């Protein structure tokens, strides 16, 4: 079964800026505020999670519909969900057979989705 050394090896191999933020937990720096991807070992899986935005006060029904549509049409790995008052994108991969290609595909898919969907989701965020 894969473990922490394998995850760190994959991160180094992808040449991603990251830091270990806890026991068996790494944060990949995306370069965007609040858009960092966290990878955590939670035997028997590796959990991937990234905050997308806060749940807005208004337009929730339209936002939820959009997120469900994006889950089915645009995401190969993971899905959008709600955690408390936050919209997140998350995925979990089994450690037993985890290889570099699967790890890389998940990280890239989640990062690409967050970037590509930002414009569609921006209309639901509060103006600064």
Contacts of 6 (CB under 8 A, 6+ apart): 98
pLDDT at 128 exceeding the cut of 70: no
What pTM was computed for the model?
0.89
Kindly report, residue by residue over 20-36, the tens digit of the pLDDT: 999 999 999 876 666 78
Of 51, 46, 53, residue with least CA distance to 104 = 46
Determine the Cα–Cα distance for residues 53 and 63; give it in Å rounded to an integer: 11
Domain locations in the chain as residue ranges: 4-122
Given 3.20.20.70, 3.40.47.10, 3.40.50.300, 3.30.1460.10, which CATH number is that of 4-122?
A: 3.30.1460.10
The per-residue pLDDT for range 90-123, each reduced to its tens digit, is: 999 999 999 999 999 999 999 888 888 989 999 9
């Amino acid at each position: 079964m894969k473990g922490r050394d394998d995850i760190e090896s994959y991160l180094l191999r992808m040449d991603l800026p990251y830091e270990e933020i806890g026991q068996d937990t790494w944060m990949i720096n995306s370069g965007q505020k609040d858009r960092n991807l966290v990878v955590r070992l939670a035997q028997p899986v590796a959990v991937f999670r990234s905050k997308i935005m806060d749940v807005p006060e208004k337009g929730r029904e339209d936002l939820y519909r959009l997120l469900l549509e994006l889950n089915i049409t645009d995401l190969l790995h993971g899905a959008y969900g709600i955690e408390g008052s936050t919209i997140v994108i998350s995925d979990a991969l089994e450690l037993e057979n985890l290889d570099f290609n699967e790890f890389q595909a998940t990280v890239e898919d989640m990062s690409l989705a967050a970037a590509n969907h930002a414009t569609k989701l921006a209309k639901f965020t509060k103006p600064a």
